[in-house]
């Protein structure tokens, strides 16, 4: 997943930042906005882990004690799609 994240999201973002001309004459600072976005994404995942309810499994005995939360299920499907959707919209010019 780390390699997929780099090649499909981070590398194109660095290339886009280099071509924009906003991050140095030759794009030497193009890694900064990508790094900030990567760190914000990590903070989001950490915060989501703290805020969303835990799954309905007893972690000690590994026994199901109830039904999983619908919000947790929805978040598990939607959150991974957000970065790729944003990247695709930017590539197609629908920023």
- Tell me: the pLDDT tens digits for 55-90? 555 555 655 556 666 666 677 777 777 777 777 777
Q: Which helix (H) or strand (E) holds 46?
A: helix 31-51
Which comes out higher in pLDDT, residue 59 or 31? 31
Which residues touch 91 (CB under 8 Å, ≥6 apart)?
A: 12
- The parent domain of residue 64 ranges over 2-92
* pLDDT at 2 > cutoff 60: yes
Model confidence at 17, in pLDDT bands (50, 70, 90)? confident
pLDDT of residue 91: 75
Split into its structural domains, the chain has a count of 1
Section 18-23 average pLDDT: 86
């Amino acid at each position: 997943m780390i390699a997929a994240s780099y090649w499909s999201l981070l590398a194109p973002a660095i290339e886009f930042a280099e071509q924009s001309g906003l991050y140095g004459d030759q794009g030497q600072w193009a890694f900064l906005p990508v790094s900030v976005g990567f760190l914000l994404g990590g903070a989001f995942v950490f915060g989501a882990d703290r805020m969303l309810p835990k799954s309905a499994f007893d972690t000690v005995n590994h026994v199901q004690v109830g039904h999983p939360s619908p919000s947790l299920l929805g978040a598990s499907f939607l959150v991974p799609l957000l970065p790729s959707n944003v990247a695709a919209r930017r590539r197609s010019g629908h920023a």
